[in-house]
Amino acid sequence: MSQPLLSVNGLMMRFGGLLAVNNVNLELYPQEIVSLIGPNGAGKNHGLQLPDRIL
């Protein structure tokens, strides 16, 4: 297997006192298709935007 394009370990995000994303681990590899599913308000969009803000 090749090296991951993106590796995220232990991602956490808070909005004030609300813990929106807790301990998310994710690796994205070249030519891989990934789907992130979950209920509305589960933090899918914000969880993917956070690594972009850090980089």
Residues 6+ apart with CB under 8 A from 33: none
**Coil, strand or helix at 47:** helix
pLDDT (tens digit per residue) in 12-47: 888 899 888 889 898 989 999 988 888 887 777 776
Q: Are 50 and 10 in contact (CB under 8 A)?
A: no
CA distance 51 to 55: 6
Average pLDDT over residues 5-17: 87
Q: What is the pTM of this model?
A: 0.59
Question: Tokens 């993106």 appear where?
Answer: 6
